[in-house]
Amino acid sequence: METFDFVIVGAGSAGCGLAYRLSEAGHSVCVLEAGPRDSNPFIRMPSGVVKTRIDPKITWQYEVAPTAHTNNRPIGLLTGKTLGGSSAVNGMVYNRGIRSDFDKWAAAGNAGWDYNSLLPYFRKSERYLSGGDDQYRGRFGQVPISLLEHRDPISDRFIAGAEETGVRRTEDYNGSEQEGVSYVQTTIHKGRRWSSAHAYLHPAVQKFRVDVRTQAVVRRILIENGRAVGVDYARPGGNAVRTVHGRLGVIICAGAIASPKLLQLSGLGPASLLRDLGIPLVRESPGVGENLSDHIGTRVVARLKRGSGSINEGVSGIRLLWQGLRWLTGRPSLLALSAATVFAFCKSAPEDQDTDYTLMFLPGSLAKGEGRSLDKFPGCTSVSMQNRPESRGYVRIRSKDVNDLAIVQPNYLTAVIDQKVQVTGIKHLAAIYRSAALAPLIEEFTLAPLDQCETDDEYLDYVRQTCQTNFHPLGTCKMGLASDRMAVVDSRLRVHGVEGLRVVDASVMPTQPSGNLNASVMMIAEKTAAMILEDVRRR
Ligand SMILES: Cc1cc2nc3c(=O)[nH]c(=O)nc-3n(C[C@H](O)[C@H](O)[C@H](O)COP(=O)(O)OP(=O)(O)OC[C@H]3O[C@@H](n4cnc5c(N)ncnc54)[C@H](O)[C@@H]3O)c2cc1C
């Protein structure tokens, strides 16, 4: 029997951070990751997302079942499947969210999750290299973060257009206040993607006692007398099962879709679902898989005047080789850009206390706005994302077989407030496209005719027709008090009713932070590692 101090399931944003901190403290750690090693060269190259996102070897490819709210379109939703998890294939924008996001978590009974208590863990995770205020920014963490160095005339015009509509500039949206427009901060360092594997896991393997096993699909959590003692795993599609035990605990970090799936497969979940699938109930936990929330973004793609400086032109034909050479030799390159160059954090009404939507911009465009290659014409893309959607859905297993993908249904746009904020955001984008700064560059809207929308209903239909996921599923093992039947973990991220078992990843967030998730997930890993080490010392 193989035994480690801790078994961690999933080497994603959270799993890698935990592996580092627990092994740094002297513990033996076994990390089991369903995907392969992160040796695909497109992972390190920031623009490689165009390739990695469609590669089923390193991504889980889900499809959200169509609903009338999104004009009956199927919507693809992917997450990462390699060392680094989703941080190995994400858009690399670093964005924490705002104070009230976390204060809300604490107000729901989760002691220690208010912004003031979490700030030290945000700071602990990051090494911010672009100035900012020491009160908010970390200097010594494992994750290098910097303001995108790239500047280009189209992004500058988008910023100027946003200013024309009343958005002010901000120096640091991860500082005291988020509101404003700015080039983005990224997890790109020296032109390379810095996934959580590069920031945490690979250094931990070099320095500490971490045993990383890839192509190791965990099938079941082993629970004996109410205590999680280990897990069973096998190669993808394989049946030769191996077991590892965690002396001090089993930590599930498989992400917001796979963590509830694994709990359900292990007999922890809604009783009726498990009964229908013939899975013996270990403990009824109706919240496992429920409360799924995701950020969607309404997309605008525009064809620009020739010679405007779009990335599409900058990497077309022989220029791609030139940019590749620049990237390989460590010089500034269009291949080293994040998925967006500019973010604008906005309020629906000036008197609102908090920002409630984010506008994102990239001076380049993918075919059909979501495709696998760049448009042949000079293009730009923008996205409007509601920060705190209220629509909720679920993740449910469809069989006992771990190799079957779970059903994922976020129920996009079912909440009326979500429709409203998306309409406000897209109208704002339309205004920026009409601004004196940006309008002269625009030839036509290619994804859908944004300029033909006049009424709110027409804008809402535009939203329904063009929205896609921003890849931020969360909430499916939400943190909360034991008195809340839908809460799956407590505020120390221990699964209610099972000893020795924690879930630590995006699934524990009860609601969306007003930002992309990677920063918050890494913060959660830092905070939970500290709580686990405290618990071990108290034993
Ligand atoms: C395409 C895309 C773009 C994004 N863009 C951004 C962005 O620009 N900025 C940002 O901040 N956030 C972004 N995000 C979101 C962010 O990256 C994720 O929210 C975050 O990485 C989730 O971390 P996690 O630890 O919860 O899960 P993950 O990082 O997804 O890790 C889960 C890991 O568990 C593994 N696993 C699953 N099941 C099993 C099993 N049964 N056995 C063993 N291992 C298993 C998976 O293979 C995976 O490696 C993006 C995400 C995606 C997918």
Residue boundaries of the structural domains of the chain? 1-113+192-295+390-413+471-539, 149-183+296-386+414-466
Ligand 1 atom nearest to CA at 10: 34
Residue nearest to atom 47 of ligand 1 (CA): 81
Exposure b/e, 527-536, CB count within 10 A at least 16 = b: bbbebbbeee
- Predicted confidence at residue 371, as pLDDT, reads 60
Alpha helix locations (H) across 141-295? Answer: 153-164, 196, 202-207, 255-265, 271-277
In this structure, the number of other CB atoms found within 10 A of the CB of residue 44 comes to 18
Please report the beta strands in 397-517, taking only residues with DSSP state E, as ranges in sequence order: 407-409, 442-445, 468-469, 501-503
Architecture of the domain spanning 1-113+192-295+390-413+471-539:
3-Layer(bba) Sandwich (3.50)
**471 Cα–ligand 1 center, Å:** 9
**Torsion angle defined by CA atoms of residues 431, 433, 438 and 440, in that order, rounded to the nearest 10 degrees:** -110
The band of 500, judged by pLDDT with boundaries at 50, 70 and 90, is very high
Tens of pLDDT, residue by residue over 45-91, are: 999 998 999 999 999 999 998 999 999 999 999 999 999 999 999 99
Residue nearest to atom 31 of ligand 1 (CA): 12
The answer to whether the CB of 356 falls within 8 A of the CB of 348 is: yes
Report the candidate in 405, 374, 369, 388 with the shortest Cα–Cα distance to residue 78.
405
- Predicted confidence at residue 539, as pLDDT, reads 83
- Predicted confidence at residue 373, as pLDDT, reads 82
The band of 370, judged by pLDDT with boundaries at 50, 70 and 90, is low
Return the best residue to mutate from 518, 520, 528 for the ligand 1 pocket (most ligand atoms within 8 A of CB). Answer: 518
- Predicted confidence at residue 368, as pLDDT, reads 72
pLDDT at 369 over 60: no
Catalytic residue flag (residue 472):
yes
Residue holding tokens 């879709």? Answer: 257
**Cα–Cα distance list, 444 to 304, 315, 370, 447, 518 (Å):** 7, 21, 17, 9, 34
Please tell me if the domain spanning 1-113+192-295+390-413+471-539 has the same topology as the one spanning 149-183+296-386+414-466.
no
Tens of pLDDT, residue by residue over 234-281, are: 999 888 899 999 999 999 999 999 999 999 999 999 999 999 999 999
Nearby residues of 129 by Cβ (< 8 Å), 6 or more positions away:
144, 145, 146, 189
pLDDT at 362 over 80: yes
Residue nearest to atom 52 of ligand 1 (CA): 90
- Predicted confidence at residue 378, as pLDDT, reads 94
**Cα–Cα distance list, 97 to 86, 122, 217, 520 (Å):** 18, 11, 32, 8
106: tokens are: 């604490």
Across 145-173, average pLDDT: 97
163: helix, strand or coil? helix
Report the candidate in 515, 54, 503, 7 with the shortest Cα–Cα distance to residue 255.
503
Tens of pLDDT, residue by residue over 180-220, are: 999 999 999 999 999 999 999 999 999 999 999 999 999 99
One-letter amino acid for residue 368 of the chain: K
CA atoms within 13 A on the CB side of 219: 18
Tens of pLDDT, residue by residue over 460-481, are: 999 999 999 999 999 999 999 9
Tens of pLDDT, residue by residue over 268-302, are: 999 999 999 999 999 999 999 999 999 999 999 99
Backbone φ, ψ for residue 191 (5° rounding): 80, 0
273: tokens are: 């679902």
pLDDT at 525 over 70: yes
- Predicted confidence at residue 201, as pLDDT, reads 98
Angle at 126 between CA 170 and CA 295, to 5 degrees: 65
Q: Mean pLDDT score of the chain, rounded to an integer?
A: 96
Return the best residue to mutate from 33, 87, 387 for the ligand 1 pocket (most ligand atoms within 8 A of CB). Answer: 87
- Predicted confidence at residue 1, as pLDDT, reads 72
Across 389-411, average pLDDT: 97
- What percent of the chain is helix, strand and coil (3-state, nearest 5)? 30, 25, 45
- How far, in Å, CA of 309 to CA of 362, rounded? 12
Architecture of the domain spanning 149-183+296-386+414-466:
2-Layer Sandwich (3.30)
In the chain, the percentage of residues whose pLDDT exceeds 70 is 99
Residue nearest to atom 50 of ligand 1 (CA): 90
pLDDT at 409 over 90: yes
**449 Cα–ligand 1 center, Å:** 33
- Predicted confidence at residue 504, as pLDDT, reads 98
Instruction: Find the radius of gyration of the CA atoms of the chain.
Output: 22
421: helix, strand or coil? helix
Across 417-439, average pLDDT: 97
Q: Which residues line ligand 1 (CB under 6 A)?
A: 9-14, 32-35, 53, 78-81, 85-87, 89-93, 95, 216-218, 253-256, 258, 262, 339, 471-472, 505-506, 516-519, 521
